[in-house]
Amino acid sequence: MLRDVHMPPRSPISGALSTERLDHSDPLLFEFRARVSAHAELEGKPSLLLDRTAFYPESGGQMADHGRLGGLEVLDVQVDGDGALHHVVAGALPAVGSEVVGQVDGVRRRVHMALHTGQHMLSRALLDIARAETVSARLGETSCTIDVDLAEMAERDVARAEDLANAVIDDDVVIRSFFPEPEELARLPLRREPKVSDHVRIVQIGEFDWTPCGGTHCLRSAQVGLIHVIGVERYKGGTRVTFGAGRRAREQLAGESSVLRRLAEQFSSGTRDVPAAVEKLRRELDAARDALGQARARLAQRAADEMMEAARAAGSPWVIGAIDDARAELLRAVAKRVTEESSMVALLAGCDDDGIPVVVARGRESAFDCGAFLKRAAQAAGGRGGGRPERAEGRMPAGIDWPSLVRTLIDAEVTKKGG
Ligand SMILES: [Zn+2]
C-alpha cells in the first residue's frame, strides 16, 4: 500500500497502551530498556506493547524497523487503528511488567534514514529546479520512488536536481526535528502543508527545506552520503523518479559498475568504450543478417529451379519437395518462386526445432484447393494446418515422409475424380 511520506504519526494515546517514542528525539538510539505494558496481537500474530520504544513503526512511506526485543526477533512494528504500537515478535512473550532490552537493527535503520532524508532533499530540489511538486513518495525494500505532478520532465532538470541535493550533502548541514508553536509554524516556508493541525513535527534541513514529517531522519546531511537517480518515467499523468540514497545508492552503483566491468572484459575494452563496442557489434549483426537473407534467397531460387525442372520433365504441375533444414521463411520464398509459374502448385516441407513446417501454394491459373489439401494432410499425419485455396501453412510431426504423404493424397484425389 502506498502511504504518504509526510503523514505524521498518530499522537500517542493516553493510558496504559501509550508508548513513548524514543526515536523522535534520538534517531541513532539503537539500544534501549523498556517495560512490557501488555501482550497483544496484530493480524493474528503475537505482539508486545511497551512503555517506551526506539523501534520505528511502518508509517509515512518508511518501512518498519527490525531487531531484537527481550532476546526475541522483531519481525514487524505497526501502529494499529487505536494508536497502539505493536512489536510483532516470534517466540514466548516476556511477562507483562518485566523489563526488556530492545536492539534496533542499526544498519537497516541507517538505510531507511538515508533514504527518507534523501527523499526530502530530492523532493525539494525537484521543486526548486523544475517547479515539480511531490504528490507521493514510497521507500520500499528494493526501490524508492518520488511521484511529481509534472507530466513532462527534462532529464537535464532531474540531473540538476540530483546535483543540487548532493551539494547539500557536501555542505554537511544540520538536520533538526522540532515541534514549533503555531506562530512560528505559520512563518516557516514549508514545502507542503501539514496534515494535522496541532503537534506538527517539522524536519528542517539546513536552510534548504522545511517539511512536516514524523519519520526518522539523519542528523546531518552528510549522513545521507549520496543521492542517485536510477530512472525517470511517466506515471499516472505525472512523472515518477526512482532513486537510491546512502548505502542503498552505493550498492546500486557498485552493482551497475560490476556489470559494466564484466561487459568491458567481454569486449576487451575500457568501460567507457562499451557503448562504441556494442554499436560496432550491432552493425556487424545487421550486416550478417543481410548476408544471411541474400544467401537464403539464392538457396530458395536454386531449390525452386531444380524442383520445377523435375516437374516440367515429368509433365506434372506438382512441385513436391522436402528441403533439409529449411525454415518457414525459406519455404515461403521457394513457394513464391514456384508459383510465378501460373499452372504450378508448390507442396513444400522443411525442418526446424519444432518439427516440420509446411507451405502449400498455387499459381494463378491452378484450381487446386491448398487449404483443403493441407487440412487432409494434417489429419492423415497428425499435424495441423489450413488456409485459403490460394495458399496454406501448417506443421507436421517430426519424422513423417512429406513427399510420399503428398503423393498418396494427390493420387487418391485424382483416382476419386477419375472414378
Ligand atoms: Zn521525513
Instruction: List pLDDT tens digits, range 277-299.
Output: 999 999 999 999 999 888 888 88
CA angle, residues 85, 87, 88, in degrees to nearest 5: 130
pTM (global) more than 0.85: no
CA 105–ligand 1 middle distance (angstroms): 19
| pLDDT for residue 297 | 82
Question: What is the rounded distance in angstroms from the CA atom of residue 405 to the CA atom of residue 194?
Answer: 80
CA 52–ligand 1 middle distance (angstroms): 21
Confidence of residue 418 (pLDDT cuts 50, 70, 90): low
CA 15–ligand 1 middle distance (angstroms): 28
CA 62–ligand 1 middle distance (angstroms): 8
Q: Give me the phi and psi of 233, to 5 degrees please.
A: -145, 160
CA 212–ligand 1 middle distance (angstroms): 7
CA 128–ligand 1 middle distance (angstroms): 18
CA 217–ligand 1 middle distance (angstroms): 6
Residue 12 has pLDDT above 80, yes or no: no
Q: Find, among 56, 47, 83, 212, the residue nearest to 139 by Cα.
A: 56
How is the beta sheet containing 227-235 ordered, strand by strand? 134-139, 144-148, 238-245, 227-235
Q: Find, among 63, 74, 79, the residue nearest to 100 by Cα.
A: 74
Residue identified by cell 557536501 is: 170
Angle between helix axes 274-313 and 328-338 (nearest 10 degrees) is: 40
DSSP 326: -
CA 375–ligand 1 middle distance (angstroms): 68
CA 133–ligand 1 middle distance (angstroms): 15
CA 109–ligand 1 middle distance (angstroms): 13
CA 152–ligand 1 middle distance (angstroms): 26
CA 213–ligand 1 middle distance (angstroms): 5
Question: What is the rounded distance in angstroms from the CA atom of residue 108 to the CA atom of residue 302?
Answer: 68
Measured in whole angstroms, how far is the alpha carbon of residue 102 from the centre of its chain? Answer: 36
Confidence of residue 62 (pLDDT cuts 50, 70, 90): confident
Question: What is the rounded distance in angstroms from the CA atom of residue 247 to the CA atom of residue 323?
Answer: 60
CA 121–ligand 1 middle distance (angstroms): 10
CA 203–ligand 1 middle distance (angstroms): 7
364-402 b/e (C-beta count within 10 Å ≥ 16 → b) = eebebbbbbbbbebbeebebebbbeebbbbbbbeeebeb
Residues 134/127, Cβ–Cβ less than 8 Å: yes
Residue identified by cell 556487424 is: 284
Read off the pLDDT of residues 127-146 as tens digits, 9 standing for 90 and up.
999 999 999 999 888 889 99
CA 177–ligand 1 middle distance (angstroms): 10
CA 407–ligand 1 middle distance (angstroms): 79
Q: Extract the C-alpha cell encoding 78.
A: 505497526
Question: What is the rounded distance in angstroms from the CA atom of residue 398 to the CA atom of residue 322?
Answer: 12
CA 110–ligand 1 middle distance (angstroms): 13
CA 7–ligand 1 middle distance (angstroms): 9
CA 45–ligand 1 middle distance (angstroms): 29
| pLDDT for residue 57 | 95
Q: What is the mean pLDDT of residues 292-311?
A: 87
